[in-house]
Amino acid sequence: MAAEDLQDCVKEILCGLSSAVLKQLKILIDGQIAILETAITALQAQILQYDILSKPIEAANIIFQAGITKVKKASTLIPLDLITDCVDLGDYNLNVQQTIDLASSTTNELTSELSRLLSFKEELNALVTDLTKAVKQFTDITDIIDRCLIGD
């Protein structure tokens, strides 16, 4: 059924009701619209909060990844196999690898956290979209009620 046909059908049903019932129905629907709009505003604030929260995590992730790249490049510049013949480097290789592993672990955690935040934000956005559609439907019904009340 097309939207216009549905509106005509709803109008036919609603306009058959008494004006007292229509007024009460409109009050009830307006209350529901107010509740939905409040929920939408709260969700949008939460989305903004997640945007603000994700920025420092995103920046830290970029910094850590750049640091890992630099450490990896630096570790390949030193000809360790030649130097170890001349000087005992002790646990240098192990320390470099542990540093790289630790930094990699941190970036993996940050990336995971960013993914989780993004996923949750997408869910909130979908919910806002659904609630906005519900508000539109309720608003369409109150418009029909108004037309019924004025005899349109």
Cα 106 to Cα 24, 53, 143, distances in angstroms: 58, 17, 55
Question: Is 152 a residue whose pLDDT tops 80?
Answer: no
How much is the pLDDT for 151?
84
In order of start, what are the domains of the chain with their CATH numbers? 3-150 (1.10.287)
Q: Kindly report the average pLDDT of the chain as a whole number.
A: 85
How much is the pLDDT for 93?
66
Taking residues 63-88, what's their average pLDDT?
71
Query: 116 or 3: which carries more pLDDT confidence?
Result: 116
Query: 108 or 123: which carries more pLDDT confidence?
Result: 123
How much is the pLDDT for 2?
56
> What DSSP designation does 91 have?
T
Element (H, E) at 2: none
Query: 63 or 103: which carries more pLDDT confidence?
Result: 63
pLDDT per residue as tens digits for the range 32-56: 999 999 999 999 999 999 889 888 8
Taking residues 138-147, what's their average pLDDT?
94
Distance CA 21, CA 26 (A): 9
Q: Per-residue confidence at 85, pLDDT binned at 50, 70, 90? A: low
Question: Which amino acid is located at 134 in the chain?
Answer: A
